[in-house]
């Protein structure tokens, strides 16, 4: 546990180790709200019978009188106690299973392999795909599957990535957050001219579109999975130019255009296409990919698996040696 705390603190102190105590509470809160491998539940959930509620999840204007608060508090406490009763046996079984696996591994430590020996390899990715298939079919919709930065992903959220479903903002934001390697500056404080690309996925009337800004080239791109009209491009021009002007940037001769890209063939895959557009734009590839039903399903499955695995997504290794930064709105 001490090693885990040290590694977490090392990531947040940012070259100022003498300030570690300022981040200790936040780090411990993160550890206590993360699902543990042994118990399969977070320590917070085991203690209180529910997942933690983050400040960002509480409405800005939230008022409630003392009487209602007392009633809700008693009801939630009673419900949480019931959950804890059923959790004890489940957690005990999970711990026992992990202990048995650990004993088995300990007995195999003495095994010596030679080049050319045939060995069994555990395919953990197949289990992740099984979780995705369960989510697609609507099983266990209230079970927490993954957490990407501040975004919690339940079976319900993964279910919304399934066939014929519209991607929700929770999944879109989590996917973009996982794409970002490094710190993401606050939008109000950022200087657009410090970045090569500013990218955002916008939703209007239940339809996702992609906007890309190239601050140093004084241009923007608008990609609509259903196709772009002249009015759409003109509106994008006005909005992106106004954004750059508000940031104090020179917007003379600002332009907006689009690029040739595949069109969605159904009414629900706009989010999938917008994420795929972003991948191609960031990797500086031609925006082209198959759009058959099988291909779109494969893209949905890949998005879901990567969110569950909670790893750096898609093509960010391309920018490891890049002289410029990218930023996501």
The rounded distance, in Å, linking the Cα atoms of 45 and 322 is: 41
pLDDT tens figures, 7-53: 788 878 877 778 888 888 888 888 888 877 777 778 887 777 777 77
Contact 213, 192 (CB under 8 A): yes
67 and 186 co-located in one domain:
no
Give yes or no for a contact between 143 and 155, defined as CB atoms under 8 angstroms apart.
yes
Q: Per the domain annotation, does 95 fall within a domain?
A: yes
Per-residue pLDDT at 287 exceeds 80: yes
Mean pLDDT, range 73-81, rounded to an integer: 58
Q: Domains in the chain: how many in total? A: 2
Beta strands at 219-223 and 255-257: parallel, antiparallel or unpaired: parallel
> Domain check: are 197 and 294 in the same one?
yes
Q: Shortest CA distance to 215 belongs to which of 309, 70, 105, 327?
A: 327
Please say if the pLDDT value at position 327 is more than 50.
Answer: no
Task: With respect to residue 134, please indicate whether it lies within any of the assigned structural domains.
Answer: no
Of 46, 69, 102, the domain-final residue: 102
Can you give the CATH number for the domain in which 321 is found?
3.40.395.10
Contact status, residue 9 vs residue 20, Cβ threshold 8 Å = yes
Residue 112 lies in a domain: no
Same domain, 98 and 178: no
Q: Using the structure block, give the residue that is written with the tokens 């003498």.
A: 18
Determine the Cα–Cα distance for residues 76 and 212; give it in Å rounded to an integer: 45
Edge-to-edge strand list for the sheet holding 219-223: 255-257, 219-223, 208-214, 197-203, 326-328
Dihedral class, residue 116 (left if φ above 0, else alpha if ψ from -120 to 50, else beta): left
For 154, the enclosing helix (H) or strand (E) is: strand 151-154
Average pLDDT value for residue range 254-276: 94
pLDDT, one tens digit per residue, over 162-197 is 888 888 888 888 888 776 654 555 566 778 888 889
Helices (H), 141-269: 155-159, 169-179, 230-246
Domain of 51, in residue numbers: 2-102
């Amino acid at each position: 546990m001490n090693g885990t705390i040290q590694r977490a603190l090392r990531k947040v102190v940012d070259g100022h180790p003498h300030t570690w105590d300022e981040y200790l509470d936040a780090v411990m809160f993160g550890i206590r709200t993360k699902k543990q491998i042994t118990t399969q539940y977070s320590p917070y959930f085991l203690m209180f019978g529910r997942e933690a509620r983050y400040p960002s999840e509480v409405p800005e204007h939230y008022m409630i009188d003392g009487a209602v608060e007392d009633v809700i508090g008693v009801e939630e406490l009673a419900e949480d106690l019931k959950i804890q009763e059923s959790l004890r046996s489940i957690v005990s079984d999970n711990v026992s299973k992990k202990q048995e696996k650990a004993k088995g591994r300990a007995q195999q430590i003495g095994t010596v392999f030679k080049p050319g020996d045939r060995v069994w390899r555990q395919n953990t990715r197949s289990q992740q795909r099984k979780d995705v298939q369960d989510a697609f079919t609507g099983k266990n919709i209230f079970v927490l599957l993954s957490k990407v930065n501040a975004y919690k992903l339940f079976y319900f959220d993964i279910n919304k990535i399934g066939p014929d479903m519209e991607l929700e903002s929770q999944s879109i934001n989590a996917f973009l957050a996982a794409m970002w390697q490094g710190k993401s500056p606050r939008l109000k404080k950022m200087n657009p001219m410090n970045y090569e690309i500013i990218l955002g996925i916008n939703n209007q009337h239940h339809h996702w579109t992609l906007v890309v800004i190239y601050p140093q080239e004084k241009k923007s791109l608008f990609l609509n999975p259903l196709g772009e009209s002249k009015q759409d491009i003109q509106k994008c021009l006005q909005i992106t130019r106004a954004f750059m002007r508000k940031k104090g940037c020179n917007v003379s001769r600002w332009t907006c255009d689009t690029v040739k890209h595949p069109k969605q063939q159904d009414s629900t895959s706009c989010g999938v296409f917008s994420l795929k557009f972003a991948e191609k734009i960031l990797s500086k590839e031609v925006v082209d990919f198959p759009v058959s039903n099988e291909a779109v399903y494969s893209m949905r499955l890949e998005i879901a698996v990567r969110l569950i695995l909670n790893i750096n997504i898609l093509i960010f290794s391309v920018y490891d040696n890049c002289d410029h930064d990218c930023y996501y709105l």
